[in-house]
Amino acid sequence: MKPFEYLRPGSIAEALAAGAAPGAAYLAGGTNLLDLMKGGASLPDRLVDITRLPGLDRVEPAADGGLRIGALVRNATLAHDPGFARAYPAVAEALLSGASAQLRNAATVGGNLVQRTRCAYFYDPTSACNKRRPGSGCDARGGENRLHAVLGWSEHCIATHPSDFCVALAALGAVVEIAGPAGPREVLLEDFHRLPGDAPERETVLEPGELVTALRLPPDAAGFAAHARYIKLRERTSYAFAVVSAAAALRLEGGVIAEARLALGAVALKPWRAHGAERLLVGRTPGPEAFRQAAELALEGATPSGDNGFKIELARRIATRALLLAAAGTPERVPALPASPFSHPVGVPLHA
């Protein structure tokens, strides 16, 4: 591992000053960053340890009536909070479907947002990767790419974003709070991650030295609690990233859809919010035909980036399944295999 300077600031102001230096990286749970450093895919000159910063490990009501989640809250802590799971069941299910129990105990909410792609060519320092070394090329374009992007990709990068958590957050309109040298700002989570374009090395809208301090779920997000699901198809049911996934949430009035939310995962370099599909569903009676039409619209414009054309139809089917399960109602118990399309809701009673 490359030698680096290690700092542990005592305040956000001190952290921002330390993080503004060229080559600096923020360290929280370290479940992604340390792996990248050990493999040589990330070579920071300075690690700024933010794990002791005060006030970033709280879950508390937001001023607008929503919920504010500090960036240092652990994934497991949030997922196993009964009040949170009742109000935001799809988010809790998404969290519980990610990684392993040990990693969820260490990983943080803020770190989940800024984790890097799991593209094998990004992780391999001997491969050409425009993310790791801009202008070097993209070996994934002609390599093993069956799990790569089908939406929003460019000739410079066909990677996908790996998070489950972010897909459910995007569907519910979450907001990211950011601190930086120029002061605090906020951005919608669906706008936080960038598509590759001609600058795939920039994965988020964060400017140098900026730090994610919190997430905020808006007041209307809890209104979907009765009809919200996250579904994730993976090559094995434990400890695997999604092949495709979908978060669906519905608000029903008088037997028709008054409001719909749909976001797809593992299809692009960011969670893919399907606004057109959501509008299509408003005023419709919930059912397979309406949901199939919405799924078709959600994947409009999808094209293979290599040997992955199957993902387009697979994503349509997972989106349809997520909407059908959401319409049927949120189960009182988290499924024993969270987010798996093959499980039955006989697991932990977090929603009871």
Please state the φ and ψ torsions of residue 142, each to the nearest 5 degrees: -120, 15
In-domain check, residue 202: no
What are residue 188's DSSP bridge partners?
A: 175
Report the pLDDT value the prediction gives residue 345, as an integer from 0 to 100: 52
Domain presence at residue 295: yes
Residues 230-264 pLDDT 10s: 999 999 887 899 999 999 999 999 999 999 999 99
237 located within any domain: yes
Q: Check which CATH number belongs to the domain holding 244 and give it.
A: 3.30.390.50
Is 14 part of any domain? yes
Angle between helices 288-298 and 310-328 (to 10 degrees): 140
Domain total for the chain? 2
Strands (DSSP E) contained in the chain are: 5-7, 24-27, 46-49, 59-61, 67-70, 175-179, 185-188, 211-217, 228-234, 242-253, 256-265, 272-273
Given a contact cutoff of 8 angstroms between Cβ atoms, the answer to whether 198 and 156 are in contact is yes
Q: Is residue 6 part of a domain?
A: yes
pLDDT at residue 350 in the model: 47
Q: Is 30 left (phi over 0), alpha (psi -120 to 50) or beta?
A: left
> Residue 8 maps to which CATH number?
3.30.43.10
Residue-level pLDDT at 239: 86
Q: Residue 59 falls within a domain, yes or no?
A: no
Q: Which residue among 17, 35, 54 closes a domain?
A: 54
Point out the residues of the chain with pLDDT beneath 50.
346-352
CA distance 131 to 193: 14
Structure-token pair, residue 268: 């692009």
Range of the domain at 5: 1-54
Residue 151, CB-side half-sphere exposure with 13 Å CA sphere: 26
User: What are the b/e assignments for 152-188, b being 16+ CB within 10 Å?
Assistant: bbbebbbbbbbbbbbbbbbbbbbbbbbbbeeeeeeee
Amino acid, res. 180: G
Query: What are the CA-CA distances from residue 111 to residues 51, 284, 348 (Å)?
Result: 11, 38, 26
Tell the burial category of 253 from Cβ atoms under 10 Å away from its Cβ (0-12, 13-18, 19+). exposed
CB neighbour list of residue 221: distance below 8 Å, 6 or more residues apart: 66, 67, 87, 88, 172, 173, 174
Residue 296 belongs to a domain: yes
pLDDT given for residue 346 in this prediction: 44
* DSSP label of 252: E
Q: Is residue 264 part of a domain?
A: yes
CA 130 to CA 137: how far, in whole Å?
5
Nearest residue to 269 via CA among 342, 173, 197, 348? 197
Say what the alpha-carbon torsion angle 7, 9, 14, 17 is, to the nearest 10 degrees: 20
Residue 347 confidence (pLDDT): 45
pLDDT 10s digits, 148-196:
999 999 999 999 999 999 999 999 999 999 999 999 999 999 999 999 9
